[in-house]
Amino acid sequence: MSHRPDHEPSTASAGDAPAGFSFRIDGRDGAARTGVITTPRGAIRTPAFMPVGTQATVKGMYMDQVRALGADVILGNTYHLMLRPGAERVAGLGGLHRFGGWSGPILTDSGGFQVMSLSKLRKLSEQGVTFASHIDGSRFELTPERSIEIQGLLGSDIQMQLDECVALPNERAVIDKAMRLSIRWAERSRRAFESQPKGRALFGIVQGGDQPDLRVESARALAAMDFPGYSIGGLAVGEPQDVMLAMIETVMPHLPDDKPHYLMGVGTPDDLIGAIARGVDMFDCVMPTRNGRHGQAFSRFGKLNFRNARHAEDPRPVDETSSCPAARDYSRAYLHHLIRTEEMLGSMLVTWINLAYYQDLMAGARAAIAAGRFTDYAAEVRAGWQRGDLAPYGG
Amino acid sequence: MSHRPDHEPSTASAGDAPAGFSFRIDGRDGAARTGVITTPRGAIRTPAFMPVGTQATVKGMYMDQVRALGADVILGNTYHLMLRPGAERVAGLGGLHRFGGWSGPILTDSGGFQVMSLSKLRKLSEQGVTFASHIDGSRFELTPERSIEIQGLLGSDIQMQLDECVALPNERAVIDKAMRLSIRWAERSRRAFESQPKGRALFGIVQGGDQPDLRVESARALAAMDFPGYSIGGLAVGEPQDVMLAMIETVMPHLPDDKPHYLMGVGTPDDLIGAIARGVDMFDCVMPTRNGRHGQAFSRFGKLNFRNARHAEDPRPVDETSSCPAARDYSRAYLHHLIRTEEMLGSMLVTWINLAYYQDLMAGARAAIAAGRFTDYAAEVRAGWQRGDLAPYGG
């Protein structure tokens, strides 16, 4: 590693896959699958966790660190990037890969989710959504066509249709209406995407809240449009985990089996294990980075909150067997000190620890699926979280 | 580099110097000197700039990055460390080097300066100073003996006597009184230091504000105590640069020539060049790290403020000839974006750029002094700052 932008091609093997966008399943274990998504910018080993690089940076990380952890793909947020620095400016500077120093594949969301959760003065219509920036109040319009245009200007390798995502619980009528609007926007997104260079992919997004029949209807409608990949949106938005997992089970039989399945914005390590068991191939979530910034680490031993005084005199590293320097070479006492004194290095190190753990969890899942022992793997990692790793002087 | 704590021995050559603390002058050019301070933990090439590691971390940097820039020594702040995590706790965890992951020499201040500038409810007496923590109001006492005890518990290689530092301008009587108290505290510090392991060094600190005769009296009194090094304190506290440089010129003839001269808390690149020309060997300052966090870069082309919109579309790196990846591998447009969006990576990169520039400036000074061309070197670097490096589309 060299603390630099990442200019290395992916080391993941794509075998003899074609140069465009494709997905190959190499192993199955129950509903779980492991395989490789091939893109012109490199291969993505699945199941894959995508670190979130909201504003053209994975917060607190150098891109070469992200790459070295085994991440094959990162996510960029269309909403944030359209506000600052602006899609046209990024394009003028050579695109998002060059701008942010990440040479591998980038997946972008459509911007719709953050418009709903962050912006002000929203006005939704059949045409799209107008809103005021949460930063300076300036006005923007996001339509299916403009979202795809922005994602194209960024140079995104895997793009998302604009959709309407509603919080849960919610009235069935609201969920129904948003799901049907999202299907119409899927079709418009698909047409807008046709002018983009070959090798890029557009995913449709399943909506339908916690209503099984609406989820099925959404999945079938999108499948009929023949997208190269399918996202499951509108989950982890307030519902219990069992509802989320039930919705995944409901949807899966109606999505093309030979295309990647991406569960958006999820989740905890336990969520990931549960979703992989049900056939999900791709994930993104701010949890490892956001929680890491505030001192909460994810590890083989479960969660460690470094604000907690029980770490104050603990000379042990977080995980001496980890290949991540942050987990292996710094004492818990030092991490506690850095978090308590609000030092940047504390946020940097715990973020790094968390992204390492998420990538290790995915690597373990891929190997376990390939070996036909994913159920055992899931039980082992859960037992590790339960067992924990209290300091001898406890507390 | 490996984004880790620094566990490498210093690569600076100490020649056949003894294993304890010593200073060897290898070259002179006018009043400027270049040489090597030898300590049991490694050599320090002089003139040396010491990055400030206030709370056992150089803010926003991995220690291996700091080392790779050519820094041979870092500074720790006794005031901050005595409050959090506490000197006894650091000692229990193996000392400051192990705690913070820096294997090279560490210099600590006495804590007195921050007590005066940060703490509350201060009460100064002949005995020492009592104060309330700026964090939680808890009460502490700092005496010359306790300051040395704390620095010893931290395992500091180069320690500072407790002194009283007054702001400028100030009344002569106030300056006079603080200078005389500092001399008495120097003697007490020296006695307290006698029980520490061999190889560590204690520096006396010259005070006297902007009063030449008081500065001379302070320097003579300290020289008579035969310290292994001499600090010049109480400058860069509000006075113009010409006053600061005049005080250095006034003091130098009265300090032992064969001992290191350390100008505390200074300063801008121009301050450093001016002080080196007058015989200063060591510096520390928060400016490269603090200004860097807020987006102000120091470079061969002078200062660059990355909040400024003129960088927004500039694809050039800060300095394509730099050996520092942060200065060489990221566009100014990206740095501008990161600083404007208050991303951690912006603070990390500009801090890194600044510490690299300060180390490069010192390396250049050492080479120029050795070659007998320091005056030319000073003129060249100043011409570079004046010339600047505006983008072609200016602004």
Catalytic residue among A109, A271, A281, A360: A109
CB contacts < 8 A (A, B): 128
A84 touches B: beta carbon within 8 Å: yes
Q: Which residues contact B293 (CB under 8 A, 6 or more apart)?
A: A344, B59, B60, B347, B350, B351
Between positions 314 and 333 of B, the ones with CB within 8 A of A are 315, 325-326, 329-331, 333
**Is A360 a known active-site residue?**
no
pTM, two decimals, is: 0.95
Average pLDDT, chain A: 94
Question: What pLDDT digit, counting tens, does each position of B290-338 carry?
Answer: 999 999 999 999 999 999 999 999 999 999 999 999 999 999 999 999 9
A312 touches B: beta carbon within 8 Å: yes
Partners of B39 in the β-ladder: B42
Q: Residue A390's pLDDT is what?
A: 66
The domain defined by B22-285 carries CATH number 3.20.20.105: yes
Residues in B touching A336 (Cβ below 8 Å):
85
Buried b (16+ CB within 10 A) or exposed e, B222-237: bbeeebbbbbbbbbbb
Between positions 352 and 371 of A, the ones with CB within 8 A of B are 352
Rg of chain A taking only CA atoms, in angstroms: 21
Question: What pLDDT digit, counting tens, does each position of B264-283 carry?
Answer: 999 999 999 999 999 999 99
Q: Indicate yes or no: CB of A337 within 8 angstroms of CB of B65.
A: no
Q: Indicate yes or no: CB of A99 within 8 angstroms of CB of B333.
A: yes
A5 touches B: beta carbon within 8 Å: yes
Catalytic residue among B29, B157, B281, B284: B284
For A317, phi and psi rounded to 5 degrees?
Answer: -75, 170
* pLDDT at residue A12 greater than cutoff 70: no
- Take residue A269 and report the two structure tokens written for it: 């390590």
Q: Which residues contact B159 (CB under 8 A, 6 or more apart)?
A: B107, B108, B110, B148, B151, B152, B193, B196, B200, B201, B202, B203
Q: Indicate yes or no: CB of B2 within 8 angstroms of CB of A1.
A: yes
Question: What pLDDT digit, counting tens, does each position of B45-100 carry?
Answer: 999 999 999 999 999 999 999 999 999 999 999 999 999 999 999 999 999 999 99
Distance (Å) from the alpha carbon of B307 to chain A's nearest alpha carbon? 13
Average pLDDT, chain B: 94
Buried b (16+ CB within 10 A) or exposed e, A367-379: ebbeeeebeebbe
End-to-end CA distance of chain A: 37
Could you give the strand order of the β-sheet that contains A139-142, starting from the edge strand earlier in sequence? A120-124, A129-132, A139-142
| Minimum CA–CA partner of B345 in chain A | A60
Contact indicator for B295, B312 with CB cutoff of 8 Å: no
Which residues of A sit in the known binding site for substrate? 109-113, 163, 207, 234
For A362, phi and psi rounded to 5 degrees?
Answer: -70, -40
Q: Residue B32's pLDDT is what?
A: 98
Burial of A385 (0-12, 13-18, 19+ CB in 10 A): middle
Q: Indicate yes or no: CB of B65 within 8 angstroms of CB of A326.
A: no
Residue among B56, B344, B352 whose CB faces A347 most closely: B344
A265 touches B: beta carbon within 8 Å: no
Q: Residue B4's pLDDT is what?
A: 73
What are the DSSP E strand ranges found in A30-82? Answer: 32-39, 42-46, 48-50, 74-76
Partners of B138 in the β-ladder: none
Question: What pLDDT digit, counting tens, does each position of B220-234 carry?
Answer: 999 999 999 999 999
* pLDDT at residue A10 greater than cutoff 70: no
Question: What pLDDT digit, counting tens, does each position of A343-393 carry?
Answer: 999 999 999 999 999 999 999 999 999 999 999 999 999 999 999 886 444
A99 touches B: beta carbon within 8 Å: yes
**Is A16 a known active-site residue?**
no
Q: Which residues contact A47 (CB under 8 A, 6 or more apart)?
A: A32, A33, A34, A272, A276, A280, A281, A282, A283, A362, A365, A366, A369
B55 touches A: beta carbon within 8 Å: yes
d(CA B395, CA B391): 8
* Structure letter (DSSP) for residue B309: G
Contact indicator for A101, A56 with CB cutoff of 8 Å: no
B88 touches A: beta carbon within 8 Å: no
User: How many CA atoms are closer than 13 Å to the CA of A2, on its beta-carbon side?
Assistant: 12
Q: Indicate yes or no: CB of B344 within 8 angstroms of CB of A92.
A: no
State the residue for tokens 């003899």: A16
State the residue for tokens 């199941």: A47
Among B395, B394, B389, smallest CA distance to B319 is for B389
| B61 three-state secondary structure | coil
